[in-house]
Amino acid sequence: MTAPDLPQLYLVSPPEFELSQFPHNLARVLDTVDIACVRLDLASRDEDRISRAADALRDITHARDVALVITDHLVLAERLGLDGVHLSDGARSVRSARKALGPDAIVGSFCAASRHDGMTAGEAGADYVSFGPVGSSALGDGTTAPTELFEWWSEMIEVPVVAEGGLTDTQVRALTPFTDFFGIGTEIWEDDDPVAALKSLSGHMAGVSSRP
């Protein structure tokens, strides 16, 4: 009998980082831990800054056969040769993104805690749906995506799902049976040793039965 598949790891960049340092940290993580995808998620609206960051991360990820997507910037995704986009507006832009980027690009959709938005995004052609934050957060209205949402999704919907935002050891153990990916960002990048932090967090998947 083969062991059940565990969720894959999906890294999210910090909202701000130094180009002189972060790419080295990312490369170290990718060389140590198996990562499915990286998302460039800068808070900046400066096109030049975002483009330079994307160029740096693309060189690192593509050299290691890891996909790189960018939050929302469709034009930059295409222009810079990235693998796709992560849309932050639920299902609203999925069809237009798919049309613009073509069938081979990755189109992901962040749907907060909305089951309806998730289903709509999946029907519109999203490659994955992301729910979060799963942990408590002062951002937005404080709404979190409960374990029950992932449990329902794993039973009813075939579109892959990502759990992200405020992940803790306890939440990783609780969500491992019901999610396809863990989206991990500040949980490790704020640590002095991101590799150790990621290994510690992802280690809590071990021994937990995966999704049915």
pLDDT in tens, 84-121: 999 999 999 999 999 999 999 999 999 999 999 999 99
pLDDT attached to residue 137: 66
Q: Is residue 1 in some structural domain? A: no
Mean pLDDT over each residue of the chain, to the nearest integer: 94
Beta-strand relationship, 37-40 and 8-12: parallel
Q: Is 14 helix (H, G, I), strand (E, B) or coil?
A: coil
pTM beyond 0.85, yes or no: yes
Statement: residue 2 has pLDDT above 50: no
Region 141-166: mean pLDDT is 95
* H runs (alpha helix) in 65-164: 74-79, 94-101, 115-123, 147-156
- Dihedral angle sign, alpha carbons of residues 71, 107, 109, 117: positive
Q: State the total domains in the chain.
A: 1
The model's pLDDT over 172-197, given as tens digits with 9 standing for 90+, comes to 999 999 999 999 999 999 999 999 99
- Residue 212 within any structural domain of the chain: no
Examine residue 133 and say whether the peptide bond preceding it is cis (omega within 30 degrees of 0).
Answer: yes
* Residue 26, domain extent: 8-205
Residue 125: per-residue pLDDT: 96
Average pLDDT over residues 119-135: 97
Identify the pLDDT of residue 141.
72
Contact 169, 201 (CB under 8 A): yes
Domain containing 115 — which CATH number? Answer: 3.20.20.70
pLDDT at 5: 85
The pLDDT value recorded for residue 129 is: 98
Q: Is 20 among the domain residues?
A: yes
96 lies in some domain:
yes
Give the pLDDT confidence score for residue 136 in this predicted structure: 79
Query: pLDDT tens digits, residue range 27-68?
Result: 999 999 999 999 999 999 999 999 999 999 999 999 999 999
In a domain, 211, yes or no: no
Q: What is the pLDDT of residue 93?
A: 96
Residue 3 lies in a domain: no
pLDDT of 138: 58
Residue 98 lies in a domain: yes
- Rounded Cα distance between 178 and 148, Å, is 9
Query: Would residue 181 count as lying in a domain?
Result: yes
Kindly report the CA angle at 63 between 59 and 68, in degrees rounded to 5?
A: 60
pLDDT at 24: 97
Please check the confidence at residue 207 and state whether its pLDDT lies above 90: no
How high is the pLDDT of residue 156? Answer: 97
Q: Give the pLDDT score at 161.
A: 98
